Structure 1
């Protein structure tokens, strides 16, 4: 309830301090409290109740009309707003819509990434068990089919989320009180985010163990067992990455809305890492396919992917440092 009252205070700072306005503020506080108590009684969570209350009572123009504040109060809002630096305004309901859509988007992107990571499993195992062309061909069909399905997920869902690109790229201003609420929501989500990140990273590390052990214990004559260990590695990595994506992307939305971290006003002006990624990953795919087809060494060529991931992390770090240096000039 404290957040709601703080939000109410921020709304009324735009209005003149008159008896009429103070009375309207008291009535508004009473209505908001009643609605909040009603929602909590219905079983709504703290954040859900706060969001619904503010979305229903947070429109200043409706407030002026419904509570009978004289029209002469309105110009003060216009004057104050004109003095501010012009910027896009984002209200609480729009921000919550962005968060909800991102949660769904993250799940679908996570599924797409899992398909990509697991796509070579059949090919790896068919290639090490026999030299026949049919199993290898089937493995290739499955690989390309899973990658194609993943690409469809990426494109379709990417298009649906493109309507929010301006939040990451443009400077905007959160409406009064929304910043406080999103900050509190991020604080409450931090522990869950940290726990999921730890689980995801642990799964990836655990998945490496069977591959290392198999490489030490088994020789080339036992390629089938090595292939099984590599498949297990990919499954663990896929599970870990899925958790990282579904935890990290929604949590990152708070930084987007609060314009923190990688989404500060200064960093929004830098597009270097996006340009690098657009070239880097298609190039890695081309290298992987070219090497694998030319050498027919599908059982080992998978190592390109973890190496490429680590290398891209280093490239992203260099781009970030370069961007920071340019902004500091």
Structure 2
């Protein structure tokens, strides 16, 4: 009998102590105890009786929905998120991740096109007949055009998410909706894990083209190796941003104390990310375009990744000790 009570307690542990839910708990406990006694009288063993009672209990969320019981404590004063709002937010967040990812890819490809045109102009008959300014013009124009498109995507994406700023503040989430979101998040988790593995793999493999070209000893192809490197990094960054945004939409809706505590840490990490990676790209381009160090400057990205990982680990330890 105690097993049944413990089982029911676990089912209600995360639910608010409203009058309706307390009444539901007592009614269920009474019905389950009566069913248990009935099964025992029919000759069932204790384990068999408990197993049958629990198996017939069903899903608590479905029962709450069927009885139309309010799972929000009265007087909380917090806004309640509806199913439509949650779905709309997750859809918008997903689209935002896609647009931001495309924007970042365009910025990286802008640098890649600059290097690509530099290689074309230096290794073709037509390019060699042009002045240095004329040689640089196609790459520079491509860079600016792609960056302009990227900025437009960033602005549009930010404006679409502006209406959901209220989700940064405390809110209530009905238990049935929370359960639904948790199930979706659980189903998404393997996809997120695979995407992370794929993105990291692309970053690790990105210098391969440069290494191959360097091994062949053909300096005229170095620029194309760099373009391949940046293209693979662009793909990895898109994967991180797109799937990261989907994951973050679940994290925001399933807001917990841990999520709230990590907000400050996330802001610090985001601020460092906004500085360190563009700085790495600048150093990469300067060392390549000015000092022609394409054969070795690819190492900037792995080093940056390692340093950033070390920073996050140390920062987390320091925050944890406070």
TM normalised by structure 2 equals 0.65
Mapping for residues 1-329 of structure 1, pairs under 5 Å:
14-15=19-20, 80-82=73-75, 87-128=78-119, 129-130=121-122, 132-167=132-167, 169-218=168-217, 222-259=218-255, 264-269=259-264, 271-277=267-273, 280=276, 291=286, 295=290, 297=292, 307-308=303-304, 310-326=306-322
Please tell me whether the aligned partners of residues 115 and 146 of structure 1 are also in contact (alpha carbons under 8 angstroms).
Answer: yes
Say what the alpha-carbon RMSD is for the aligned residues. Answer: 4.2
SS of the equivalent of 1:15 reads helix
Within 2, Cα distance between the matches of 1:229 and 1:254? 38
Within 2, Cα distance between the matches of 1:173 and 1:146? 42
SS of the equivalent of 2:165 reads helix
Within 2, Cα distance between the matches of 1:14 and 1:268? 34
SS of the equivalent of 2:260 reads coil
Within 2, Cα distance between the matches of 1:115 and 1:185? 31
Q: How many residues align?
A: 264
Within 2, Cα distance between the matches of 1:200 and 1:284? 18
Please tell me whether the aligned partners of residues 259 and 265 of structure 1 are also in contact (alpha carbons under 8 angstroms).
Answer: yes
Unaligned stretches of 5+ residues in structure 2? 1-10, 28-61, 123-127
- Compute the displacement of 1:193 (Å): 2.1
Please tell me whether the aligned partners of residues 87 and 172 of structure 1 are also in contact (alpha carbons under 8 angstroms).
Answer: yes
Please tell me whether the aligned partners of residues 92 and 175 of structure 1 are also in contact (alpha carbons under 8 angstroms).
Answer: no
- Compute the displacement of 1:150 (Å): 1.1
Decide whether aligned partners of structure 1 residues 109 and 190 sit closer, same or farther in structure 2, where only a CA change above 3 A counts.
same
Decide whether aligned partners of structure 1 residues 146 and 12 sit closer, same or farther in structure 2, where only a CA change above 3 A counts.
same
- Structure with the greater alpha carbon radius of gyration: 2
